[in-house]
Amino acid sequence: MKVALLFSGGKDSTYAGFLASKKYKLVCLVTLFSENSASYMFHTSLIEKTQEQASLMDMPLIRHRTKGEKEMELIDLKEAIVKAKEKFKIKGVVTGALKSDYQASRILKICDELGIKCINPLWQKDQIELLEELVKNKFEIIITAVAAYPFDKSWIGRKIDRKFIEEIRILEKKYGINPAGEGGEFETLVLNCPMFNGRLKLEGFKIEGEGNCFFIKED
């Protein structure tokens, strides 16, 4: 079955695509470029890097813009999926939804309306287990944004590795954070993984922000 991957360039969508590709034929990526950095639906941190990631995957990318207005952005998402259905004859959409009922239910509704399958390989997966699987499967991932206490500027650019998992376990117990950033605590970017034919380069960037909110911004 041909499927499209809702792709943000972060760990969840990329890993979902990796898992889904073992069972389905992944034929394209779909990325929404939101003007709203606080979008309810879409990842925005370094979203422009998805074009380069798509090239590393030898995968066509459908780019669609949205103002990111709550609920209205779903119309834009549906339009993007319709493009994938018409151009690549997809029968399903893969998402990186992990815990968010808000996102999962709305994508499912769109898929039902279009008569295609909604595939959520990560749904309800334990967050520490997810991080461990990413390391085990040789995903090279960095933190590109933080937005919660006790994170600070020092976390920007850090790789998700064994040391990261050990530290995040402590923070989970102490502060009740979501260890995989599911509560918006942090955003990620995949630099390399088994689906890439090379490593994504991230050069000429600066870190902006204050307090517990920092993010990478390309010059």
CA-atom Rg of the chain in angstroms: 17
| Contact in structure between 122 and 34 (CB atoms under 8 Å) | no
Among the listed residues 126, 199, 132, 193, the one whose alpha carbon sits nearest the alpha carbon of residue 162:
132
Match 């319709």 to its residue by tokens. Answer: 82
Domain ranges of the chain: 2-119, 127-218
Q: Examine the pLDDT at 39 and tell me if it is beyond 80.
A: no
| Cα 117 from Cα 99, distance rounded (Å) | 19
Angle at 5 between CA 162 and CA 123, to 5 degrees: 55
Residues 6+ apart with CB under 8 A from 74: 41, 106, 110
| Contact in structure between 117 and 1 (CB atoms under 8 Å) | yes
Q: Examine the pLDDT at 215 and tell me if it is beyond 70.
A: yes
| CB burial readout 147-181, b (16+ within 10 A) else e | bbeebebebbebebeeebeeebeebeeeeebbbbb
Fold (topology level) of 2-119: Rossmann fold (3.40.50)
Among the listed residues 181, 135, 142, the one whose alpha carbon sits nearest the alpha carbon of residue 158:
142
pLDDT digits (tens, 9 = 90+) for 53-86: 999 999 999 999 888 777 788 999 999 999 999 9
* β pairing state of 205-210 and 186-192: unpaired
Q: Examine the pLDDT at 28 and tell me if it is beyond 80.
A: yes
pLDDT of residue 42: 76
How many CA within 13 A on the CB side of residue 60? 10
pLDDT of residue 47: 92
pLDDT digits (tens, 9 = 90+) for 88-138: 999 999 999 999 888 899 999 999 999 999 999 999 999 999 999 999 999
| Cα 102 from Cα 10, distance rounded (Å) | 19
pLDDT of residue 40: 64
Question: How many residues are given for the chain?
Answer: 219
Among the listed residues 53, 200, 207, the one whose alpha carbon sits nearest the alpha carbon of residue 217:
207
Is the four-CA dihedral 129, 165, 5, 19 of positive or negative sign? negative
Portion of the chain with pLDDT greater than 90, in percent: 83
CATH of region 127-218? 3.90.1490.10
pLDDT of residue 66: 86
> How is residue 106 written in tokens?
């709305």
